């Protein structure tokens, strides 16, 4: 192999073509200060570690990232790719920071022109859409990550637990999610009279005995259901329980627990380690767009890839010949 383009490659057969392009771009090229070289290499290593295990669309690289093997001479394709190359050059810190900022700006402009929301800022968009900051994980025994959970699903705050399930399905890691928890019955919350009244009323239509038992736990002896309903109307914000775990557990032992929870206005149950979503609403993978225009969509990716259900192993390691 010869240096046909005159790039000054010292050893064309060496391991790292990008690292041999000379002093204009590469941290370990001739004449570059050792400290700058170490900082640049650390930046490249950190970026490679960040993206090496991310799932990518079928058939290729994720747009705007130097993926998996940044030292093997991948052709830069986006403004951010060129900005990342600048990290390895003999430039001042200000120049490197400026390159990254310009790369991010140009890339976000390209995305906007293509009708897509920029990736950066997704956390703020998620918060404005009502998604909690809590990180949740889910592993799939089937080996397939759904893009919709029509009947809801369980999600865990404990990554190791979810990873163990994911490995049984053929993946190395669980999928990360964000959830809307604004209509959640949490074991740790103290229920108000209004909330408790809704649960008793919902239980009355499904399991009258359960409704009677729930009312008698709170109401003075002999007053029961009517007393709870009156309190819910007259003083809805009055706190009537110390925690809600016993209420959740009592309802879950009934004939139709999901119907009771939903009729009472709850769409999720939080037991501490895990959250069970009762519907497919308010579930997003972290790689989702978090587009307010798609807030009502149940697609966990908000139509970013449009792939439907994707086998985990193929999503993480795309088939070399997708045709």
pLDDT in tens, 11-44: 444 434 434 433 334 444 455 456 666 666 666 6
Q: What pLDDT score was predicted for residue 173?
A: 93
DSSP alpha helix (H) spans, the chain: 34-51, 79-86, 93-113, 122-128, 159-168, 193-206, 208-218, 224-234, 245-252, 257-263, 312-316
CB atoms within 10 A of CB 188: 10
Q: What pLDDT score was predicted for residue 280?
A: 95
- Alpha-carbon span 78 to 65, nearest angstrom: 8
Q: Which residues of the chain register pLDDT less than 70?
A: 1-120, 302-323
Q: What pLDDT score was predicted for residue 290?
A: 86
Q: What pLDDT score was predicted for residue 119?
A: 56
pLDDT in tens, 79-114: 555 555 555 555 555 555 565 555 555 555 544 444
Model confidence, pTM: 0.59
Q: What pLDDT score was predicted for residue 320?
A: 37
């Amino acid at each position: 192999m010869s240096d046909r383009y005159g790039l000054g490659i010292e050893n064309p057969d060496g391991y790292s073509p990008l690292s041999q392009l000379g002093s204009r771009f590469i941290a370990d090229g001739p004449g570059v200060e050792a400290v700058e070289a170490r900082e640049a290499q650390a930046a490249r290593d950190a970026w490679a570690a960040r993206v090496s295990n991310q799932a990518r669309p079928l058939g290729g690289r994720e747009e705007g990232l130097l993926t998996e093997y940044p030292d093997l001479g991948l052709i830069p394709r986006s403004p951010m790719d060129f900005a990342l190359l600048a990290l390895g050059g003999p430039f001042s810190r200000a120049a490197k920071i400026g390159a990254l900022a310009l790369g991010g700006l140009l890339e976000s402009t390209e995305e906007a022109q293509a009708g897509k929301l920029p990736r950066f800022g997704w956390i703020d968009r998620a918060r404005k859409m009502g998604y909690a900051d809590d990180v949740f994980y889910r592993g799939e025994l089937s080996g397939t990550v759904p893009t919709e959970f029509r009947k809801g699903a369980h999600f865990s705050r404990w990554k190791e637990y979810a990873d163990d399930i994911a490995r049984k399905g053929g993946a190395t890691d669980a999928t990360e999610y964000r959830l809307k928890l604004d209509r959640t019955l949490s074991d740790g919350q103290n229920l108000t009279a209004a909330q408790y009244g809704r649960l008793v009323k919902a239980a009355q239509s499904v399991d009258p005995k359960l409704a009677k038992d729930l009312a008698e736990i709170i109401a003075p002896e002999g007053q029961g259901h009517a007393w709870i309903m009156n309190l819910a109307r007259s003083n809805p914000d009055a706190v009537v329980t110390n925690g809600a775990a016993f209420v959740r557990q009592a309802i879950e032992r009934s004939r139709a627990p999901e119907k009771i929870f939903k009729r009472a206005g709850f769409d999720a149950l939080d037991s501490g380690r895990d959250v069970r979503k009762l519907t497919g609403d308010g579930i997003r993978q972290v790689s989702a767009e978090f587009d307010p225009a798609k807030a009502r969509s149940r697609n966990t990716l908000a139509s970013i890839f449009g792939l439907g259900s994707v086998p985990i192993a193929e999503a993480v390691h795309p088939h070399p010949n997708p045709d």
